[in-house]
Structure 1
Amino acid sequence: MTFTAYDKSELEAFQREAKERWGTTEAYQAFEKNPQTDFSVITEEMAAIMRDFAKLKEFSFSEGKVQKQVETLQSYISEHFYPCDMEILSGLGQMYIADNRFTAFIDKAAGQGTASFVSSAIAEYVKNNG
């Protein structure tokens, strides 16, 4: 299944916004130094991670397999974007439900309510490991 959430103009707008908001942070500078990867591949891989979260929605946020999936997400972000420490991970979890664009991407990729589930799972992970 191929998943395309954004067109090129939307991606360019996200890039401008990210640079304005976080351009001076170490995480953003690390992202800029990363070799460019095919964004369509990364988008599909992120969608697959979210679909794996959706398969776990019947479990508690504190369940080991749910927390392991948060680790998978954190590792993927660190490997493909920027170092994803607990503070950044927590912020991403909040953004997944506060920013309608992220909520729409996640829920479209993995089913209604997945963004909220991922956000809560991340909050639990940060609480227990941060």
Structure 2
Amino acid sequence: MNTNEVANITGISVRTLHHYDKIGLLSPCRNPDNGYREYKDEDIDRLQQILFFKECGFSLANIIRLLSDPSFDREKAFSLQKKYLLYEKDRIEAMLETLDKTMKAMKGELIMTNKEKFGGFDMSNNPYEEEARSLWGDEAVDRSKAYVESMSKEEQEGIAEGMDRLFKELAKIRGEKPDSGIAQNAMEKMYQHFNRNFGYQYSLEAFAGVGELYISDSRFTENIDKYGTGLSEFLAEAMKIYAQSKK
């Protein structure tokens, strides 16, 4: 299928498809005769997965990270996305029911309690968002952040100084291969440091997920690379290798 055909069956604009190709999210092969994009069945399946993730609120940067991970489980992703969307379906249906009742109440056809007026307006997070974050990496960062913020100023300064020393030491070995003994010994120390200091027991998957955030989130990348250019990329790869080697 060419780009126009894909745009027609999905409702996605040609411009958006070109953007997905440019950022490496969905890059079909090219026709050698004319250079046009040609979408195979596996490209269409990947696009479907991308759109499900978007409907569940994931950013394009996170979708790229997830789909490029060798450990990505497509069936597990579909299962979680289904639970997420079913929750949203029930919430929206409750809001529609509230809207119908409100319109009838305006006409004097019924009387609503104050509680009924807010049926479906759930200001808390979708419960499956937490499961998704736990599965794919963000939860460890958020829980650690909350733990540190609960500390006194002196305790927070101690944590910050410890992390500063850690990244300074890691910056010294960023020229090593991520799978080298030196790098992996450093990852062991880093893993233990995280589990001792942040009030959260990092699983190997969460540890690797934090490493991915170092390169997928520009805020992490900028802060970490202040210790040495390329440190974030080195750590992301070394942390991933460490997590895989310990399974």
Identity value in percent: 27
Please give the secondary structure, in 1, of the residue aligned with 2:175.
coil
What residue is the counterpart of 2:211 in the other structure? 93
Question: Highest Rg: 1 or 2?
Answer: 2
Pick one of 166, 178, 185 that aligns with 1:68: 185
1:36 aligns to what?
Answer: 151
Answer yes or no: is 1:102 the counterpart of 2:217: no
- Structure 2 length normalisation: TM-score? 0.39
In 2, Cα distance between the equivalents of 1:74 and 1:50? 13
Question: 1 or 2, which has the higher helix percentage?
Answer: 1
* Greater relative CO, 1 or 2 (CA 8 Å, sep 6+): 1
Q: Which residues of structure 2 form unaligned runs of 5+?
A: 1-124
Task: Report the RMSD for the aligned CA atoms in angstroms.
Answer: 2.9
Q: Is residue 57 of structure 1 aligned with residue 57 of structure 2? A: no
Paired amino acid for 2:185:
K
Per-residue CA deviations over 1:6-39 (Å, capped at 9, x if unaligned) read xxxxxxxxxxxxxx775x969639x64xx72622
Residues 47 and 106 of structure 1 are in contact (CA less than 8 Å); yes or no, is this contact kept in structure 2? no
3-state SS in 1 of match to 2:245: helix
Mapped to 2, the partners of 1:92 and 1:86 lie a distance apart of 10
Distance 1:72 1:65 in 2: 11
Count of aligned positions: 109
Distance 1:112 1:39 in 2: 26
SS at match of 2:176: coil
- Unaligned 5+ residue runs, structure 1? 1-19
Matches within 5 A, 1:15-30: 28=143
In 1, the alpha carbon distance for the partners of 2:165 and 2:224 equals 10
1:69, distance to aligned residue in structure 2 (A): 0.9
Bigger shift: 112-121 or 50-59?
Answer: 50-59
Partner in structure 2 of residue 83 of structure 1: 201
Cα deviation, 1:37-86, whole Å, max 9, x if unaligned, reads 62222122112211211111221111112111111111111111110110
Contact 1:75/1:84 (8 A) holds in 2 = no
